[in-house]
């Protein structure tokens, strides 16, 4: 029997290029039947089934759409857009188009068909009035965002068990055959399942993959959040094999061509629980100013572009941090070993060396490859005791680096003052920290401890990032910038309108429009509000005007840092963007291309992909904090708390509790003293009969009435305003 001719890439077995079909439809300017397409191709009727195969392939990818009468058309001509569905907690959704030039498309819950959160879909754009956000109706699910997911067991139904997704934004029910489960399950057991065929409207068959455990176990919560957000976990064997083939320590051959800085008293300063150390610092007094050395682990020396380790890191984008676990960007052999600046061992680094004047102005910076040996692994608490608190016992214990640390504090304070003067925004909002007992149960949620010991490292990392960005920009080398756009002009205008009738009116910027308001003007407004009745309101509403920072090969500046040139250079162990910057810096130092970098379009696409993985990490972090907060509050239902109103809506308001770092919702339906109207422009709720007001920043007393883990809800009732 004659062998079938192998198909070429992009073509089916009989040589039809799918792109040719798309071009035919585009040139026709109207929908065509399969017969019309065959005729244009000059093919015979016997090739019809082969054409249908190509058309189905294009439909699966969302590149061609089939009309009810059997004709085929292009999505863009049919006002059909492909993209990813993001469902909100409220139930409404937004399709994020594949074409990044298009705006998001609003989807009402009744127009979602059988689509789930994170699915890639085709959405028909509905006719609407000009100026309004586009609205659409989902016409097809092109690809499930979750082929496997975590599900909660609800109850038994005959020979099956009924389950629901732990992701509340996926509205579905699952049927699991009892024969797949094994041991008798319990309600609220969490299972990993693989989605199968649809059985009925809103109901799917699933296959058992694994049992995670009971829902109230914090470790189970971490696992299901990782699954809900498609967080990468175990490394593939070929990636681990490549990591294991690397040496445990760099050899003297690796030091060749590097500055030998092993005698310089570099130190690392991190949290007590940190295991990977990718930055070390050293400061020296120089005349009336200082000289700063920031040494960053040289990951790019061991991880070459295109290698298995590099491809895996690029896919992950960054490390993912959870209260009890970490999913690292690189295997531990690199992140905790070869590329970690552990004390008293030689490590390869890239150094940014920056001189500063007495008032914190940077001089001519330089970068180079080096080898160092960290002289101390310090914690933030140690630095606080020794440098800030002047604790003699601690100072004696680290006396060999004390003179350097004291110069480091002086320089950091000067740099901090200089950044404040140029307008760096500082909202000073506390971050929650969850405390666990020996059994892994959450026992408290408190603000993370923060002091100037943390600020020392933060100032030095910002300084190094700016220095590297300036060097690459001036040398016209590629750079993956960290950019932060100007605030949302509409939200900023609403804030200024709200404050124009208050005692802060004379502190408002004279020019009110979006990009024309400088970071310095906003910081001056925050400073003016400090200590007044408007402090909470101004801080929160200003924060809500901020856009999300992202990665881009185009330098647009960083608004929040009031920096005109900024990148991420200091964490190549946990951020792929930093690794890209290291490779470009290597080329700059060498004066030639010794490291491979993507081209302009590749850098643009990479910047978008890395911004997406960062967002995924942030969303997962927020969800696990919410889930663990609900677990912590379960045995506190009925207790009274005081708190501050931190957000309002037309159906209620959220209260940030003072006794514990948590927030909950007071629904207007629970208020029986009046009917309340919402006035967003004044950020308050007003009683129609009594005129009673509830406003942003107001202290209240509330009762915790209910927590619901499946819906991620914390519900409160108002006792009284304070």
What is the rounded distance in angstroms from the CA atom of residue 552 to the CA atom of residue 480? 6
DSSP run (H or E) holding 399? none
Tell me if residue 22 falls in helix, strand or coil.
helix
Q: Which of 688, 687, 682 is nearest to 718 (CA)?
A: 687
CATH class of 637-721: mainly beta
In the chain, ranges of CATH 1.10.10.10 domains: 18-75
What is the pLDDT, as a whole number, of residue 305?
96
162 torsion bin: left (phi>0), alpha (psi -120 to 50), beta (else) = beta
In the chain, ranges of CATH 2.40.50.140 domains: 79-143, 637-721
What is the rounded distance in angstroms from the CA atom of residue 174 to the CA atom of residue 207? 10
Tokens linked to 79: 């006002």
Residue 490 CB neighbour total at 10 angstroms: 10
- CATH fold of 18-75: Arc Repressor Mutant, subunit A (1.10.10)
What is the rounded distance in angstroms from the CA atom of residue 446 to the CA atom of residue 17? 60
Tokens linked to 86: 């993001």
In the chain, ranges of CATH 2.40.50.700 domains: 148-215
Is the C-alpha dihedral spanning 383, 387, 390, 396 positive or negative? positive
Angle, alpha carbons 89-90-96 (nearest 5°): 70
What is the rounded distance in angstroms from the CA atom of residue 499 to the CA atom of residue 504? 6
What is the rounded distance in angstroms from the CA atom of residue 356 to the CA atom of residue 363? 6
What is the rounded distance in angstroms from the CA atom of residue 274 to the CA atom of residue 511? 45
CATH 2.40.128.20 at 79-143, yes or no: no
Query: Are the C-beta atoms of 684 and 693 separated by less than 8 Å?
Result: yes
DSSP run (H or E) holding 420? helix 402-422
Three-state SS string across 319-336, please? CEECCCCEECCCCHHHHH
Q: Phi first, then psi: what are they for 378, rounded to 5°?
A: -105, 155
What is the pLDDT, as a whole number, of residue 122?
87
Is the C-alpha dihedral spanning 133, 138, 143, 144 positive or negative? positive
Please name the residue that has the structure tokens 């006002």: 79
Tell me if residue 149 falls in helix, strand or coil.
strand
Beta bridge mates, 155:
162
Query: Are the C-beta atoms of 660 and 628 separated by less than 8 Å?
Result: no
Angle, alpha carbons 376-380-383 (nearest 5°): 65
Residue 501 CB neighbour total at 10 angstroms: 9
What is the pLDDT, as a whole number, of residue 12?
43
Tokens linked to 298: 């040289």
C-alpha R_g of the chain? 29
Tokens linked to 162: 């009924």
Query: Are the C-beta atoms of 668 and 691 separated by less than 8 Å?
Result: no
What is the pLDDT, as a whole number, of residue 510?
76
Query: Are the C-beta atoms of 514 and 526 separated by less than 8 Å?
Result: no
pTM equals 0.86
Question: Of the CATH numbers 2.40.50.700, 1.10.150.670, 3.40.50.1220, 3.40.50.300, which one belongs to the domain with range 148-215?
Answer: 2.40.50.700
What is the pLDDT, as a whole number, of residue 128?
67
| DSSP-derived pairing of the beta strands 713-721 and 663-667 | parallel
What is the rounded distance in angstroms from the CA atom of residue 141 to the CA atom of residue 85? 10
Summarised one tens digit per residue, pLDDT across range 366-411 is 999 999 999 999 999 999 999 999 999 999 999 999 999 999 999 9
Length of the chain: 722
Beta bridge mates, 685:
678, 694
Tell me if residue 526 falls in helix, strand or coil.
helix
Torsion of CA 248, 252, 255, 259, to 10 degrees: 120
SS percent in the chain: helix, strand, coil, step 5:
35, 30, 35
Please, what are the averages of pLDDT over each run of 10 residues along the chain (722 residues)?
41 61 77 78 74 80 73 75 89 89 89 90 76 81 90 91 92 90 83 92 92 92 92 96 95 92 96 89 97 98 97 97 94 94 96 97 97 96 95 95 97 97 86 87 87 94 98 97 93 88 86 73 92 88 93 96 97 97 97 95 96 95 94 95 93 92 94 92 91 92 94 94 90
Q: Phi first, then psi: what are they for 713, rounded to 5°?
A: -120, 140
Tell me if residue 433 falls in helix, strand or coil.
strand
What is the pLDDT, as a whole number, of residue 682?
86
What is the pLDDT, as a whole number, of residue 512?
56
Residue 107 CB neighbour total at 10 angstroms: 24
Beta bridge mates, 708:
713
Query: Are the C-beta atoms of 579 and 567 separated by less than 8 Å?
Result: no
Contacts with 142 (C-beta within 8 Å, 6 or more apart), sequence order: 60, 61, 62, 82, 119, 120, 121, 122
Residue 361 CB neighbour total at 10 angstroms: 12
Summarised one tens digit per residue, pLDDT across range 461-504 is 999 999 999 999 999 999 999 999 999 888 898 889 888 888 89
């Amino acid at each position: 029997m004659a062998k079938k001719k192998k198909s070429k890439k992009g073509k089916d077995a009989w040589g039809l290029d799918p792109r040719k079909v798309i071009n035919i439809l585009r040139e026709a300017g109207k929908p065509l039947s399969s017969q019309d397409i065959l005729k244009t191709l000059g093919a015979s009727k016997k090739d019809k089934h082969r054409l249908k195969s190509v058309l189905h392939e294009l439909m699966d990818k969302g590149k061609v759409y089939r009309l009810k009468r059997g004709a085929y058309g292009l999505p863009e001509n049919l006002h059909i857009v492909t993209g990813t569905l993001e469902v909100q907690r409220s139930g409404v959704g937004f399709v994020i188009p594949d074409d990044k030039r298009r705006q998001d498309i609003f989807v009402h819950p009744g127009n979602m068909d059988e689509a789930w959160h994170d699915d890639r879909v085709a959405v028909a754009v509905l006719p609407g009035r000009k100026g309004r956000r586009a609205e659409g109706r989902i016409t097809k699910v092109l690809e499930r965002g979750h082929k496997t997911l975590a599900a909660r067991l609800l109850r038994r139904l005959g020979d099956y068990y009924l389950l629901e997704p732990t992701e509340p934004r996926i509205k579905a029910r699952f049927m699991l055959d009892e024969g797949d489960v094994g041991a008798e399950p319990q309600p609220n057991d969490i299972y990993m399942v693989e989605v199968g065929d649809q059985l009925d409207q809103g109901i799917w068959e699933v296959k058992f993959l694994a049992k995670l455990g009971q829902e109230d176990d914090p470790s189970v919560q971490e696992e299901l959040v990782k699954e809900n957000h498609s967080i990468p976990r175990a490394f593939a064997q070929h990636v681990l094999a490549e990591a294991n083939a690397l040496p445990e320590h760099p050899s003297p051959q690796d030091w060749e061509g590097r500055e030998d800085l092993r005698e310089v008293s570099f130190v690392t300063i991190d949290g007590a629980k940190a295991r990977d150390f990718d930055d070390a610092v050293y400061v020296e007094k120089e005349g009336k100013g200082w000289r700063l050395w920031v040494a960053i682990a040289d990951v790019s020396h061991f991880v070459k572009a295109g290698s298995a380790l590099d491809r895996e890191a690029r896919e992950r984008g960054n490390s993912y941090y959870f209260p009890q676990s970490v999913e690292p960007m690189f295997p531990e052999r690199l992140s905790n070993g070869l590329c970690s600046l552990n004390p008293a061992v030689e490590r390869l680094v890239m150094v940014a060396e920056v001189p500063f004047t007495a008032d914190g102005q940077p001089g001519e910076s330089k970068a180079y490859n080096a080898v160092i040996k960290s002289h101390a692994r310090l914690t933030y608490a140690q630095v606080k005791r020794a440098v800030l608190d002047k604790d003699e016992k601690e100072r004696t214990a680290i006396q060999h680096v004390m003179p350097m640390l004291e110069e480091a504090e002086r320089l950091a304070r000067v740099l901090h003052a200089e950044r404040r003067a140029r307008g760096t925004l500082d909202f000073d909002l506390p971050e929650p920290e969850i405390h666990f007992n020996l059994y892994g149960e959450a026992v408290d949620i408190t603000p993370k401890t923060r002091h100037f010991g943390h600020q020392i490292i933060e100032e030095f990392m910002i300084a190094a990032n700016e220095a590297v960005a300036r060097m690459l920009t001036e040398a016209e080398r590629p750079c993956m910038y960290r950019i932060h756009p100007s605030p949302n002009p509409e939200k900023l205008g609403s804030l200024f309108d709200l404050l124009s009738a208050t005692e802060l009116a004379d502190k408002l910027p004279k020019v009110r429009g979006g990009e024309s308001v400088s970071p310095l003007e906003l910081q001056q407004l925050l400073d003016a509000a400090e200590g007044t009745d408007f402090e909470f309101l101004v801080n929160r509403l200003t924060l809500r005007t901020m856009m999300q920072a992202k990665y881009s090969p185009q330098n647009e500046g960083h608004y929040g840092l009031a920096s005109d040139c900024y990148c991420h250079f200091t964490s190549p162990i946990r951020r792929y963007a930093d690794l890209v910057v290291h490779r470009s810096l290597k080329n700059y130092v060498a004066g030639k291309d010794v490291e491979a970098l993507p081209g302009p379009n590749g850098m643009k696409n990479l910047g978008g992909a890395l911004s997406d993985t960062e967002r995924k990490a942030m969303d997962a972090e927020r969800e696990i904090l919410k889930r663990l907060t609900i677990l912590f509050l379960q045995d506190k239902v009925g207790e009274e708390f005081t708190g501050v109103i931190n957000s309002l809506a037309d159906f209620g308001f959220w209260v940030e509790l003072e006794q514990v770092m948590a927030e909950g919702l007071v629904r207007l339906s629970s208020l029986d003293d009046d009917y309340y109207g919402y006035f967003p422009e004044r950020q308050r709720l007003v009683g129609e009969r009594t005129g009673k007001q509830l406003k942003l920043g107001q202290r209240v007393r509330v009762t915790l009435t209910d927590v619901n883990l499946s819906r991620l809800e914390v519900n409160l009732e108002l006792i009284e305003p304070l």
